[in-house]
Amino acid sequence: MKAVGVAAVLSLSAPALAGWEPTKPVEIVVAAGAGGASDQMARMMQAAIQKNNLMKQPIVVSLKGGASGAEALMYMKSSEGDPNKVLIAYSLIYMLPLSAKIPFNWRELTPVSVIALDQFVLWDNSAGPKTVKEFVAAAKAASAPFKMGGTGSKREDHVLTVFLEQKTGAKFSYLPYKSGGEAATQLVGNHTESNVNNPSENLEVWRAGQVRPLCVFDKERISYTSKVTETQSWADIPTCKEEGVDVQYLMLRAMFLPGKVTAEQQAFYVELFHKVTQTAEYKDYMEKQALKPIFLTGKDMVQFLEEDDAVNKALMTEAGFVAK
């Protein structure tokens, strides 16, 4: 189904390509800090586009992580009609307007494509409990606050923590850090007991044997079977459901243009990012960071976004994070 959709869009866009291409350097707008997952992905795409000559104009990464990423959203909103800015978006496009009442709606932007889905994993220190069951028992037995680190407040990590509490009956003290990298080192240094980082954020400390993955918040295991550490691959991590904790969450990684750009301009970027997903850099990155490859565009993408928005809104409401 999806493949058909992609092919249809591509065949439509092919003649339009001759009509428009960027005349100025293109900016990839990152709604997060330096070194975070969005930044890494933007740099990967920058390198993929430049090394494979996918575009004549240079491409630059511009970090707009101020106000937990709200800066990037407002920047895109105010750039209406400017086809030289692409946002690399994630779940904050649904959550930030709800929790902080930012006057932003993703429907005002022009969707280009969904390029990946990111996983979440429950991690603890390698000196900590070895299974989900032991972990939950330890959390319940703890007399001092049992600390869960994460990125930002009232966002995906925080939501996951709330649902983990609901399903297990354990109580966590959620510590909001500025980035996933910080959450990772704080776990290694034993300042928190656990975190729910994306695979990419904990990859290096996992390889160094400093943290342990307990379970992945998805309905199926991660598909990559090549060894990451000496003994384990991503596919060896059980799902949380297998371990008796039925919490699932996947996060989109999607590209948007500002509102009011022309159909030719939109088509150019659909084609560009489709080409990016064919490059060795992209494939390599997907596997290394344990992302789910996906390519959605056009109607499929909008439908996906609407459904995803509804899911996130429901989660945020249930967690009590929607500002009144």
Residue 323 in contact with other proteins, rule: CB under 8 A: yes
Which residues ranging from 119 to 148 are in contact with other proteins (CB under 8 A)?
144-145, 147
Q: How many chain residues bind other proteins (CB under 8 A)? A: 61
Radius of gyration of the chain, Cα coordinates, nearest whole angstrom: 20
Figure out which of the listed residues 51, 130, 171, 227 binds other proteins, where binding follows CB under 8 A: 51
Figure out which of the listed residues 2, 8, 17, 40 binds other proteins, where binding follows CB under 8 A: 40
Site string for other proteins, 209-248 (x = CB under 8 A): -x--------------------------------------
Figure out which of the listed residues 46, 84, 161, 198 binds other proteins, where binding follows CB under 8 A: 46
Q: Tell me how far, at minimum, the Cβ of 55 lies from other proteins, in Å.
A: 12
Please give the Cα distance from 267 to 231 (Å, whole number): 45
Site string for other proteins, 156-185 (x = CB under 8 A): --x--------------xxxxxx--xx-xx
Strands (E), 126-172: 147-151
Which residues ranging from 71 to 110 are in contact with other proteins (CB under 8 A)?
71, 74, 78, 99-103
β-sheet with 26-30: strand ranges across: 59-63, 26-30, 85-89, 251-257, 110-118, 292-296
- Give me the residue label for tokens 């995906």: 156
263-278 vs 37-51: helix crossing angle, rounded to 10: 90
Q: Are 122 and 164 in contact (CB under 8 A)?
A: yes
Please give the Cα distance from 250 to 293 (Å, whole number): 12
Question: CA angle, corner 205, sides to 200 and 208, nearest 5?
Answer: 130
b/e burial code for range 125-154 (CB count within 10 A of at least 16 → b): beebbeebeebbebbeeeeeebbbbbbbeb
The residue (of 13 and 79) whose beta carbon lies closer to other proteins is 79
Interface contacts to other proteins, rule CB under 8 A: 33-35, 39-40, 43-44, 46-47, 50-51, 58-62, 64, 66-68, 70-71, 74, 78, 99-103, 144-145, 147, 152-155, 158, 173-178, 181-182, 184-186, 188-192, 203-205, 207-208, 210, 321, 323
